[in-house]
Structure 1
Amino acid sequence: MQNFNLNSEKSFREMFSAYYVSLVNYACTFVSDTDDAEDIVQEVFVNVWERKDGFGDEFKSYLFRSVKNRCLNFLRDSAVKKKRLDEIQEETVEFDLNHDMIREEVYQKLLETLNTLPPQCKKIYQLSLSGMKAFEIAQELNLSVETIKAQKKRAKKLLVTRLGRISYILFVLSQNL
């Protein structure tokens, strides 16, 4: 074994050069990503630099043991993170599914309620929902703008009465998404 004076920066650099590649290769037997292996080895060397003493003749075995332990910790922590990310993804999928189901139920209820409106009122409100302005609807249906506004107001009132205020508000908000 080579003797290194860890209090000397030059000696530390020599020690780093002597072991770095073999430690990275060793770390790669545990972790699949070379960048992760290099990070782990660098952390071990930072720890050695900060300690600077107490290694004795077992310095080489200390380096390899430290790399192995850090690799195992890395794998454990990665597994915990992956498990939590999987749980979050499952929760998100479940939330999205519930959200979609609720939106579909509200939409079906709205369609049923729209179909109960008087025909002219229904036609005007549907055109309004498609983004047409009152004057455009008036031109298309050959009616006055005042008639269009009155019919839209009537449709809204009937929908709020039949759907309830919250369902109606949810519907209107969903149209703006």
Structure 2
Amino acid sequence: MELTESHIRLLSKGDRKAFRLLYENFFIALCIFARGFHLEREEAEDIVQEVFCKLYDERHLFTNVSSLKSYLYSSIKNGCLNYIRGEKRRKDRESHYYDDVDEERTFFNDIVESEVYRELKMLMDELPPQCRNIFERVLQGATSEEIAEALQLSVETVKTQRKKAKQILRERYNLLYNIFGILF
């Protein structure tokens, strides 16, 4: 379910279901974004968890989805940079630093990429199970023949399900198709 302005209002009042929805909508995308700072999975997840804890305390600050997203991504970015700086001091090793111009460009690109993955995941979760399973394998680079063999299906069934998944995804999110048409 997509997060809406009404969820933000409920969140500001301490509604646990609204917070859970927020968490489910953004956790994976924020972890992917944090991993873009060359962190291990566990480190990225820890930072995201910390941001969600802090968000719960400061939930009253948000009036709309855009300001909440901005807060989440900026907090993750700052949390990651602070972690990297801390690691550098503790271990006296080189860390990856961005200059100001490249940092903003990379930051924006990483946000867009994370959001696209989040949207694609939400759309794929709506696919029928067999379509989703086949399409996930296609995105991982498997051929129709490999998928058919692994799932003990005919190649034609795989192609039909693949086509069905593409059609559903196109219908439900044309913008994603326009941006990443080559995937489909």
Q: Which has the larger radius of gyration?
A: 1
Q: Provide TM-score, normalisation by structure 2.
A: 0.44
Q: Provide TM-score, normalisation by structure 1.
A: 0.45
